[in-house]
Homo-oligomer: A and B are copies of this chain.
Amino acid sequence: MQFFQDLMPSLRIGRWTPSVLRKHLLKEETESIASLCHMMMESDGEYSSLLLAERILNAYEKLDEMGRLEFFTLLLDDYDIDVGQTRNAIEAYEQNPDADNLLRFTSAAEPRRQELLRRINLAPGGTRRLVKMREHLFVEMSRHSELKRIDTDFHHLFNAWFNRGFLLMEPLDWTTPAHILEKLIVYEAVHEIKNWAELRRRLEPADRYCYGFFHPSMEDEPLVFVEVALTDRIPGAIGEILHRDPESEASDNPTCAIFYSISSCHDGLTGVSFGNFLIKQVATNLKMRFPQLKTFSTISPAPGFRRWLQAEARKRDEIAQLMDRFDAAADDKLRDELEKIAAHYFLKQKNSRAQPLDPVARFHLKNGARLERINILGNPSPIGMERSFGTMVNYVYDLSKVEENHEKYVKNNRIICSPQVRKLAAK
């Protein structure tokens, strides 16, 4: 961000920071992090906060796992709410509900680590570094569940900072700067991009598009991105998308936009969801650009399907036999059989909250999409077999119905699907 590049010489570690500055900034930190945090909360000199923020992050980034656990414990114990003070404040407000008492209460009721993290955010690249810090926190949380209390504060702050009103949707194509494109290679989670040649095949053909959300203070890093192919029809197999010969002509008059991969880039932003929004915004955007588009659909994996099949196989012989006989070369009969089972899986099998078992299904159905079609062997690659027993699903986003579908799903647990899938499940 221009802001920090312009800021203070001692903070500019760019491509070639004069060595004297580099030394100054990177000199051995003599204070403990605990003491630096204390100094920062004491200070109300905003300008010094900036240097302190940098020193804290520098010190933090040199910690090993043990050190990070200590730091998180510090946040947990020393920067929590003061229950007694909070209780007094709520009583005072109850008796005299004026602005001063409200402010006193809301201040007391906010864990002090929120303010600490807000101040740390002043450092150059602060936001990005705090997102990383939360990733470390997840690791520690898995072993020290009490740290979850800290995470509520990270989550609260990130929700405010990454308010979708602040996000920018940007196209990503072959004219995008290389240091951003390489992140696509790193972060692509659904269909691996092996190298730059493959990346180019994803971005350059006239029928391929990619869009990402960016945040102004992490402008070189997509938060989430989605890959789209324009086609003549809803594809039944991911290979139609991934292995189209790039030299062959794209369709002259595509009517479908296929979302074939959506990847979140930062674990540290878990719980701050953008994907929902991005799909609808990209759909809207493409519709404006290519009015001839009629259908917006995904081609998605079914990661819970194989897991469920295996569990069933232990209980039911006919499933076990089916699984034994089934492979990438399965014949039509076998495929039909599996399709019925899959339809049953998606429509009838529910978790404890009466939602479908499949996490991808939950995501798209909650967004208001319609489960359109189940494609047995839609991805017969080893990884497709491993992940979803080869099955791919099309979820269709009908923009005029997503809100209504969403309501039905959320309020009545209704799964919106095509008649064809419903019929299959009824067999």
A-B contact sample (8 more), CB < 8 A, given A165-B217, A178-B181: A8-B281, A16-B207, A46-B164, A47-B280, A48-B403, A81-B105, A122-B165, A126-B165
* Chain A 29-51 residues near chain B, CB threshold 8 A: 44-48
Partner of A9, one of B170, B195, B217, B284: B284
Among residues of B, the one whose C-beta sits closest to the C-beta of A291 is: B18
Partner of A99, one of B8, B151, B216: B151
Interface size on A, residues (CB 8 A): 93
CB distance from A403 to the nearest CB of B (A): 5
Chain B binder among A87-95, A342-350, A352-360, A418-426? A87-95
| A326 contacts chain B at the CB level, 8 A cutoff | no
* Chain A 147-200 residues near chain B, CB threshold 8 A: 148-149, 151-153, 156-157, 160-161, 163-170, 173-179, 181-182, 195-196, 200
| A313 contacts chain B at the CB level, 8 A cutoff | no
Across the interface, do B109 and A109 meet the contact criterion of CB distance under 8 Å?
Answer: yes
Q: Which residues of B contact A110 (CB under 8 A)?
A: 106, 109
Q: Which residues of B contact A276 (CB under 8 A)?
A: 46-47
Across the interface, do A102 and B15 meet the contact criterion of CB distance under 8 Å?
Answer: no
Cα–Cα, bound, A173→B177 (Å): 9
| A406 contacts chain B at the CB level, 8 A cutoff | yes
Across the interface, do B151 and A290 meet the contact criterion of CB distance under 8 Å?
Answer: no
Count this chain's copies in the assembly: 4
Across the interface, do A90 and B87 meet the contact criterion of CB distance under 8 Å?
Answer: yes
Among residues of B, the one whose C-beta sits closest to the C-beta of A47 is: B280
Across the interface, do A163 and B16 meet the contact criterion of CB distance under 8 Å?
Answer: no
Cα–Cα, bound, A410→B46 (Å): 13
Q: Which residues of B contact A105 (CB under 8 A)?
A: 81, 109
Cα–Cα, bound, A151→B99 (Å): 8
Across the interface, do B166 and A252 meet the contact criterion of CB distance under 8 Å?
Answer: no
Cα–Cα, bound, A368→B102 (Å): 32
Across the interface, do B165 and A127 meet the contact criterion of CB distance under 8 Å?
Answer: yes
Known contacts A87-B90, A252-B22, A280-B47; decide if A99 and B148 are in contact (CB<8 Å): yes
| A97 contacts chain B at the CB level, 8 A cutoff | yes
Cα–Cα, bound, A230→B285 (Å): 26
Cα–Cα, bound, A280→B50 (Å): 12
| A83 contacts chain B at the CB level, 8 A cutoff | yes
Across the interface, do B174 and A179 meet the contact criterion of CB distance under 8 Å?
Answer: yes
Among residues of B, the one whose C-beta sits closest to the C-beta of A156 is: B106
Known contacts A9-B284, A16-B207, A165-B127; decide if A86 and B90 are in contact (CB<8 Å): yes
Across the interface, do A47 and B277 meet the contact criterion of CB distance under 8 Å?
Answer: yes
Count chain B CB atoms within 10 A of each CB in A3, A173, A290 and give the residue with the most: A3
9 closest residue pairs by CB, A with B = A99-B148, A109-B109, A19-B252, A216-B216, A196-B196, A121-B165, A175-B177, A103-B152, A99-B149
